Amino acid sequence: MPHIPLQEHLPGITGLLEYRQDTAEPIRELTQVLLKGPSTLTEGERELIATIVCYGNECNFCNAAHTAAADILLGEHETSAKMKQDIETTPVSEKMKALLTIAAQVRESGKSVTTASVERAKAAGATDIEIHDTVLIAALFCLYNRYVDGLATVVPADQGFYMSLAEKIRDQGYVRTPGWYDKLKK
């Protein structure tokens, strides 16, 4: 049971973003810019960066939701599954391996990011904006994971919920969609 009363039909982050909407607004906007805005990283790649952090932080709701989003955007589920086992043998570019490594370091602590890992990313063609966005996406999911688990929000057991959330993310992004929430009441 959550530590504070939240609307029962809104599990995980969804209930928190409705509980306090004035803080939800900039959090949503930041997420929208980083994960859906113009970028030289694909939306699938950006969801993989989010997923590696959620997985490492053992946040079951966020991990399930962003794994589903990455899978739906990539059109397969093997990359996200392999990435969680070992970044180096994941079937992604050398640049993505370097960025995922940076994200995993940010998850531990900002101080864990090494000059060597940044140089590896640059050598593989990563731009300053790609490195910046990787660090900020990883940091942002350290916020989300702590918000969601720190208040003990509900984690749906039904995989269908995360599939439907992933479709919402793909089609409508991270903006507030009251209509989508109303559907959960049924």
Question: Cβ 37 to another protein, closest distance in Å?
Answer: 7
Cβ proximity to another protein, 67 vs 79, nearer residue: 67
Interacting residues toward another protein by CB under 8 A:
3-5, 16, 19-20, 22-23, 25-27, 29-30, 33-34, 37, 57-59, 102, 105-107, 109-111, 113, 115, 118, 128-129, 131-133, 135-136, 138-140, 142-152
Question: Cβ 75 to another protein, closest distance in Å?
Answer: 28
Q: How far apart are CA 138 and CA 142, in angstroms?
A: 6
Q: How far apart are CA 58 and CA 153, in angstroms?
A: 14
Place of tokens 């079937």: 91
Question: Cβ 163 to another protein, closest distance in Å?
Answer: 24
Question: Cβ 162 to another protein, closest distance in Å?
Answer: 18
Contacts of residue 15, defined as CB under 8 A and 6 or more positions apart, other chains included, come to 2, 6, 7, 153, 154
Helix, strand, or coil (residue 148)? helix
Closest CA to 96 of 34, 37, 36, 47: 47
Cβ proximity to another protein, 34 vs 69, nearer residue: 34
Cβ proximity to another protein, 116 vs 157, nearer residue: 116
Cβ proximity to another protein, 144 vs 162, nearer residue: 144
Cβ proximity to another protein, 22 vs 86, nearer residue: 22
- CA 151, 156, 162, 168 dihedral sign is negative
Question: Cβ 150 to another protein, closest distance in Å?
Answer: 4
Place of tokens 């209509």: 179
Residue ranges of E strands in 31-73: none
Q: Are 173 and 34 in contact (CB under 8 A)?
A: no
